[in-house]
């Protein structure tokens, strides 16, 4: 009889059916690091930023601790820091002083986003400046397209959306990202940009955007809550995944350069399916409530924030995203610095 410790083992018991020793490859830190399949780096992250017309200084957004409304001067100062930290780019959201039915401050030559683009590109020519292209912050109805008789009309909205994208591109944006979910907007934007010799400006389409409660804190931040109804006649039903493939296929056909899935966390399956079906670069948007939930729990001391954020961001890359829009970008970059 074999004796192991105190336990007596019958030799017959040692004849286990064959099995795999997965633990062999987890035995040490260097080995785990060598075999890691996905890794998030600062270079994968884009920070969403809010720039507010007429604001001097900055104001923290109550439902998103650590995220601010910036006046233009403060935005520039903040972006200096981001560039120091190695963050490759930002996506700008504007909060205008005036809203009107035609959303005219969305495409005004001296609009707040247009001014911000010019200033940031002057300060940092290499910084990737992306813009959210949408009308909801710019009209009193708070809808992403034009409203007529209580309906959000598609084709008339396309002209204003294309005009907005053009004004961003003309101010120097590298990438325009339409988030309005009107049909045909990628085609309309591409045509308008090309007609103005802006063929090198790329389109990151919010191709798959769900009607989600996870945008709640953002709408407070952007003052863009719909005044009536909701966004379900243009944003997608969270229950649908095949529809996401149809939306993405249209945007690819219309000339999108990159695709995006939004929100990120509850839609990892969709990101994976888009990744498998299309070869375009793919992003995912880790939206406002996904950020706020982590922050709230972290502030209570209930979770290990750094570990949770690392795990969440890793899950997006594992699902197939090439890059991530996330409010955690700056802290993540700071944490990486501390580790180095
Ligand atoms: C504008 C827009 C929204 C978000 C990005 N662009 C809000 C919405 O569609 O209701 C949400 C971003 C976030 O929640 O962080 N259409």
pLDDT band for position 222 (50/70/90)? Answer: confident
Domain that holds residue 113: 41-258
pLDDT band for position 57 (50/70/90)? Answer: very high
Kindly state the average pLDDT of the residues 13-32.
91
pLDDT band for position 3 (50/70/90)? Answer: low
Residue 266 annotated in ligand binding: no
Residue 1 falls inside a structural domain? no
Position in ligand 1 atom list of the atom nearest CA 209: 9
5 Cα–ligand 1 center, Å: 62
Residue 262 annotated to the active site: yes
Measured CA to CA, the distance from residue 340 to residue 301 in angstroms comes to 25
With a cut of 90, say whether residue 7 has pLDDT above it: no
Residue 15 falls inside a structural domain? no
At 273-302, the pLDDT tens digits run 999 999 999 999 999 999 999 999 999 999
Other C-beta atoms within 10 Å of 186: how many? 26
| pLDDT of amino acid 221 | 87
Q: 66 vs 24, 93, 119, 230, 276, CA distance in Å?
A: 42, 16, 23, 28, 35
Residue 265 falls inside a structural domain? no
Q: What is the mean pLDDT of the chain?
A: 95
Of residues 58, 99, 209, 330, which has the active-site annotation? 209
Measured CA to CA, the distance from residue 282 to residue 68 in angstroms comes to 27
Position in ligand 1 atom list of the atom nearest CA 286: 15
Beta carbons within 8 Å of 198's beta carbon, 6+ residues apart: 166, 169, 170
Kindly state the average pLDDT of the residues 63-69.
97
Residue 219 annotated in ligand binding: yes
Kindly state the average pLDDT of the residues 203-209.
97
Position in ligand 1 atom list of the atom nearest CA 214: 14
Residue to probe by mutation, ligand 1, list 47, 179, 287, most atoms within 8 Å of CB: 179
Residue 287 falls inside a structural domain? no
Kindly state the average pLDDT of the residues 213-218.
96
Residue 285 annotated in ligand binding: no
Residue 134 annotated in ligand binding: yes
**DSSP per residue over 249-318, as a string?**
HHHHHHT-SEEEEESSGGGHHHHHHHHHH--S-EEEEE-HHHHHHHHHHHHTT-S-HHHHHHHHHHHHHH
With a cut of 70, say whether residue 121 has pLDDT above it: yes
Give the up-direction half-sphere exposure of residue 26: CA atoms within 13 A in the CB hemisphere.
Answer: 4
Of residues 58, 262, 295, 317, which has the active-site annotation? 262
- What are 232's two structure tokens? 């379900």
pLDDT-wise least confident of 3-12, 52-61, 154-163: 3-12
| pLDDT of amino acid 223 | 86
Residue 28 annotated in ligand binding: no
In this structure, which residue's CA is closest to atom 11 in ligand 1?
A: 215
Residue 201 falls inside a structural domain? yes
| pLDDT of amino acid 11 | 66
170 Cα–ligand 1 center, Å: 23
| pLDDT of amino acid 138 | 96
**Where are any strands of DSSP class E within the chain?**
2-4, 7-9, 45-52, 58-61, 64-70, 89-95, 128-133, 146-148, 151-153, 175-178, 202-209, 258-262, 282-286, 323-326
Is this model's pTM higher than 0.90 or not?
yes
Report the pocket of ligand 1 as residue ranges, CB < 6 Å: 132, 134, 136, 144, 179, 215, 218-219, 231, 287-288
| pLDDT of amino acid 80 | 98
Percent share of the chain, pLDDT over 70: 96
16 Cα–ligand 1 center, Å: 55
With a cut of 60, say whether residue 1 has pLDDT above it: no
Residue 307 falls inside a structural domain? no
Residue 19 falls inside a structural domain? no
- Let me know: does 133 contact 168? Beta carbons within 8 Å: yes
Residue 288 annotated in ligand binding: yes
267 Cα–ligand 1 center, Å: 15
- Let me know: does 276 contact 302? Beta carbons within 8 Å: no
6 Cα–ligand 1 center, Å: 63
Helical (H) or strand (E) element with 331: helix 329-339
At 72-106, the pLDDT tens digits run 999 999 999 999 999 999 999 999 999 999 999 99
Kindly state the average pLDDT of the residues 266-279.
98
Residue 9 falls inside a structural domain? no
Position in ligand 1 atom list of the atom nearest CA 288: 15
CATH number, domain of 249, equals: 3.20.20.70
pLDDT band for position 70 (50/70/90)? Answer: very high
Looking at the 3D structure of the chain, how many domains does it have? Answer: 1
Q: What angle do CA 332, 89, 298 make, to 5 degrees?
A: 25
215 Cα–ligand 1 center, Å: 6
Residue 209 annotated to the active site: yes
| pLDDT of amino acid 149 | 92
Residue to probe by mutation, ligand 1, list 96, 205, 215, most atoms within 8 Å of CB: 215
């Amino acid at each position: 009889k074999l004796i192991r410790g105190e336990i007596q083992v019958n030799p017959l018991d040692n004849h286990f059916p064959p099995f795999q020793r997965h633990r062999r490859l987890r035995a040490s830190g260097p080995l785990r690091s060598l075999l890691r399949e996905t890794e998030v780096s600062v270079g994968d992250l884009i920070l969403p930023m809010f720039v507010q017309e007429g604001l001097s200084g900055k104001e923290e957004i109550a439902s998103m601790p650590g995220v601010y409304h910036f006046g233009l001067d403060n935005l520039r100062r903040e972006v200096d820091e981001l560039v120091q930290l190695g963050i490759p780019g930002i996506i700008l959201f504007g909060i205008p002083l005036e809203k009107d039915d035609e959303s005219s401050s969305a495409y005004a030559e001296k609009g707040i986003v247009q001014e911000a683009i010019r200033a940031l590109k002057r300060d940092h020519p290499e910084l990737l400046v992306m813009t959210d292209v949408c009308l909801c912050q710019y009209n009193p109805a708070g809808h992403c397209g034009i409203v007529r008789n209580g309906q959000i009309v598609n084709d008339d909205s396309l002209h204003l959306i294309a005009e907005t994208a053009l004004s961003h591109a003309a101010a120097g944006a590298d990438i325009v990202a339409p988030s309005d979910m009107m049909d045909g907007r990628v085609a309309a934007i591409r045509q308008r940009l090309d007609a103005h010799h802006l063929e090198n400006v790329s389109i990151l389409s919010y191709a798959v955007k769900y009607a989600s409660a996870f945008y709640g804190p953002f709408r407070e931040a952007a003052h863009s809550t719909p005044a009536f109804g909701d966004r379900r006649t243009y944003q997608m039903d969270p229950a649908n995944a095949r529809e996401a493939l149809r939306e993405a296929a249209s945007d690819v056909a219309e000339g999108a350069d990159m695709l995006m899935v939004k929100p990120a966390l509850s839609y990892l399956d969709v990101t994976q399916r888009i990744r498998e079906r299309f070869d375009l670069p793919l992003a995912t948007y880790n939206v406002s409530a996904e950020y706020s939930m982590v922050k709230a729990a972290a502030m209570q001391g209930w979770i290990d924030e750094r570990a949770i954020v690392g795990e969440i961001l890793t899950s997006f890359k594992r699902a197939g995203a090439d890059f991530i829009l996330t409010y955690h970008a700056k802290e993540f970059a700071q944490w990486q610095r501390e580790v180095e």
